[in-house]
Amino acid sequence: MNTQRIPLAGVIGQPINQSKSPQLHGHWLKRYGINGHYIPMEVSSVDLPHVLNNLPKMGFRGINVTIPHKEAVLDMADVISDRAALIGAANTLTFQSDGKLHADNTDGYGFTANLKQEAPDWAPKSGPALVLGAGGAARAIVAALLHEKVPEIFLSNRTRARADALKAHFGGKITVVDWTQAASHLDEIGTLVNTTALGMSGKEELKLNLERLTPKTLVTDIVYTPLVTPLLAAARVIGCPTVDGLGMLLHQATPGFERWFGQVPKVDAELRRALLT
């Protein structure tokens, strides 16, 4: 009789039905013939400590964490990766064999890995970046861009105080720009990133005057529904290299899958197709 436990992993959040992670990990489990399961679990904030305590006893090797638990799980972790500590949130938890709970944040890694795969000529050091938005995703992306040694980040958010808070956290390389003035920096930058929800299906469009945008700037949008957002479509007309946001979602999942199921998974066209159907 095979007494080895079937490896389990999953994603917790509230709500959870919108998560694409089960489809993503499910695809990899099937592709690599792994006898494991990845399960979406709706968990309230009240139940969170109890759930984290009990999942490893049930055979879970780790979980992804989504809204609203990304910050709260840090208080319950025994070991926090440097990047999760820097960002102040975690999306990937591992129940270690020594009983400790390890918390990591792979969003910034996913962002960078996507750009490196889809735009191999991207040269972050070659010029400043303009980041639109200052929410949770922007935090991870600012950390990732600084890690890639961009010389300066212009940061612009509708609510200026949130951008000021990111500058206070990450320091000197960030220049906060008024939301109405963001377009004035477009001719200076090597990288443009939309981290706001604008441009997403069902939401307002991002209204940014692209007159000063030049073809040397790499333009990326982390919104991936639609895959080609109005920002990316307009940047393509100007001749800019563009990268859509789906790859960030796919790449951020790879470290967890490797840790829990022991296989480095591939992010490729087959996976993208599977997620889009």
Binding residues for shikimate: 19-21, 66, 91, 107, 224, 252
Q: Is 209 near ligand NAP (CB under 6 A)?
A: no
- Residues in 210-229 at the binding interface with ligand NAP, rule: CB under 6 A: 222-224
Q: Is 95 near ligand NAP (CB under 6 A)?
A: no
Going through 4-59 in order, the beta strands assigned E by DSSP cover: 8-13, 37-42
Gap between the Cα atoms of 232 and 85, Å rounded: 32
State in angstroms the smallest separation of the CB of 169 from ligand NAP.
14
Among 53, 54, 126, 159, binds ligand NAP (CB under 6 A): 159
Among 137, 142, 145, 166, binds ligand NAP (CB under 6 A): 137
Gap between the Cα atoms of 85 and 208, Å rounded: 33
Q: Is 55 near ligand NAP (CB under 6 A)?
A: no
Q: Are 99 and 244 within 8 A, CB to CB? A: no
- Residues in 23-42 at the binding interface with ligand NAP, rule: CB under 6 A: none
| Closest listed residue to residue 211, CA positions, set 190, 229, 238, 191 | 238
Give the count of residues interacting with ligand NAP (CB under 6 A): 25
Query: With respect to ligand NAP, which residue has the nearer C-beta, 34 or 243?
Result: 243
Strand arrangement of the beta sheet that strand 37-42 belongs to: 37-42, 8-13, 60-65, 92-95, 101-104, 79-80
| Closest listed residue to residue 38, CA positions, set 55, 60, 53 | 60
Q: Is 89 near ligand NAP (CB under 6 A)?
A: no
Q: Is 158 near ligand NAP (CB under 6 A)?
A: yes
Q: Are 29 and 38 within 8 A, CB to CB? A: yes
AA letter at 154: F
Q: Is 84 near ligand NAP (CB under 6 A)?
A: no
Q: Is 65 near ligand NAP (CB under 6 A)?
A: no
Query: With respect to ligand NAP, which residue has the nearer C-beta, 146 or 206?
Result: 206
Active site residues: 70
